[in-house]
Structure 1
Amino acid sequence: MKKIVIAGCGKLSEIVVDAVIQGLLPEYELVGVYSRTAESAERLASKMERNGRECKACGTLEELLSLNPDYLVEAATPAAMKELAVPTLKNGTSIITLSIGALADTSFYEDVTKTASAHNAKVHIVSGATGGFDVLRTAALMGNASASFYNEKGVSALRKSALYTPEMETKNTEVFSGTAREAIQTFPTGLNVAVAASLATVGPEKLKVTMHSTPEFVGDRQRVEIKNSQVHAVVDVFSATPEIAGWSVVSTLLNLASPIVF
């Protein structure tokens, strides 16, 4: 049985905890959780214990890694991912990350790649709120590909953004247009999937990203399009809530343990 731990103890992590409790991940033992907010870690650990499973609420990353996990599920922030990735990989622990935006930093990406290779570990990029990485990457490998990413949000998700304007309340508005690297710098947590799509296609510097705000729209729409001389593929996903991201972690864990991989 493989041991897993979780860094970041919000709603998405709770989906993974629930999947363990419900027996959806029989090949795994959840041995520890860690959050900068101690109460969050205690809450998830207590939930495991109420269901007859031992799970340690850790106060530091070092304490979490001392449990010698096979996999660390990262469900925190890109900033947290930058802090924990190298120490985790040096521990020989592979990472399943939701904070893909951190990998838009070329220097960090190279450090992660070298460290993972040196310590026989891997970083698994989950699909999150998009998908189709297999066809996107295949089309890119065929050569001469161009790709774009479109995101639609409701104005309620953008009111605290520096790019918010009052006109968003009443009309469709283009909020952002630029590269995936620029997108993640502008929206550190809101466009992680754009970085994932860029890594699967033409790279953070070449993937064109646009974000639109629509009044009364609820949820998120991610549309990735790639073209080459032989293939035109579109992956268009609407999600009413962020829960699909948590379930994509569960799907990744199932793939890692399964003799048949999707």
Structure 2
Amino acid sequence: MTTPTLKIAVGGFGAIGKAVAAALDAGIPGMELVAVSARDTTKAQAYMAQSFSRAYEILPLENLAERADVVVECCPAHLLDIIARPTLEAGKTLIVISVGALLSNEHLVGIATENDGRILVPSGAILGLDAVQAAAQGTIESVKMVTRKPPLGLKGAPAIEKMGLDLDTVTEPVKCYQGTAHDAIEGFPANLNVAVALGLAGIGTKLTQLEVWADPTVKRNTHTITVVSDSANLTLKIENIPSDDNPKTGRITPLSVISTLKRLTAPLVVGA
């Protein structure tokens, strides 16, 4: 029996969206790129003409689900509801990059439940979420993440602007935040999707402790995670290479989305 080809749409055509769309254009078995959404249609068309095998339809975010079985969200966080609501109301699958925005859009889970839609959260820039989820089936006593980023990677964060910290003049590590993952995302909306993903996998974002450092001694976005539970104690360290196009995003993030897509049709899935 032949499995139907999944139609994929990519919402957002920045560093992550372009990489995901390019992988689909190059060919992923059982999948077909059918549409993208871009803020600048002219630039997106020019990019596809130069880099892709063919031109793909460019649609508004809210119309992507009309063409696709699976919609990949690669947008600024404040646009999540615009792309997610119609996708989930249509009973389609939504892959979410702006994980932090789920905290202010909890209604999306209800919409997915009512319409047989699905919200998938890739591991993104963090490893070990499957192990954390496994530990959560028992009792987790504590989860803590310490994030260290090159100062440039924190530019534009509301919390940094509120501090009045001049990131261009930072010469030694500066602690910019200490508290819960739940409270941090408002101050670092473009930086801490990984902390929210960790919270959702484990004991919740309100109990997941977090430190954020602007650290000129590191060249990579670095996350150190410690989990204490009744089944295992986990210590995880990730050093993500920043994207050339966007230092706030790790190169591994679009690769994680591509991996998630492949798992949808793969005959063998590891780490489920």
Partners of 1:232 and 1:40 in 2: CA distance:
48
Kindly report which structure 2 residues correspond to 1:46-195, keeping only aligned pairs within 5 A, or say none.
Answer: 46=49, 50-51=52-53, 53=54, 55-58=56-59, 60-67=60-67, 69-105=68-104, 108-109=105-106, 111-160=107-156, 161-162=160-161, 163=163, 165-166=165-166, 169-195=170-196
1:245 to 2:244 alignment: no
Partners of 1:164 and 1:246 in 2: CA distance:
32
After TM superposition, the structure 1 stretch with the greater mean CA deviation from structure 2, 156-165 or 135-144, is: 156-165
Q: CA deviation at 1:18?
A: 2.1
Match of residue 19 from structure 1:
23
Distance verdict in 2 for CA 1:30–1:96, change over 3 Å: same
**What is the TM-score of this pair, normalised by structure 2?**
0.87
One of 2, 7, 16 as aligned partner of 2:11: 7
Partners of 1:18 and 1:121 in 2: CA distance:
26
CA RMSD of aligned residues (A): 1.9
Match of residue 232 from structure 1:
233
Q: CA deviation at 1:196?
A: 0.3
Structure 1: runs of 5 or more not aligned: none
Partners of 2:224 and 2:81 in 1: CA distance:
27
Match of residue 35 from structure 1:
38
Q: CA deviation at 1:122?
A: 0.4
Match of residue 208 from structure 1:
209
Contact 1:194-1:209 within 8 A present in 2 as well: yes
Q: CA deviation at 1:216?
A: 4.6
Q: Percent identity?
A: 27
Distance verdict in 2 for CA 1:159–1:122, change over 3 Å: closer
Contact 2:172-2:217 within 8 A present in 1 as well: no
Partners of 1:123 and 1:159 in 2: CA distance:
29
Q: CA deviation at 1:228?
A: 1.4
Q: CA deviation at 1:155?
A: 1.6
Instruction: Report the 3-state secondary structure (helix = DSSP H, G, I; strand = E; otherwise coil) of the residue aligned with 1:151.
Output: strand
Structure 2: runs of 5 or more not aligned: 243-249
Contact 1:33-1:41 within 8 A present in 2 as well: no
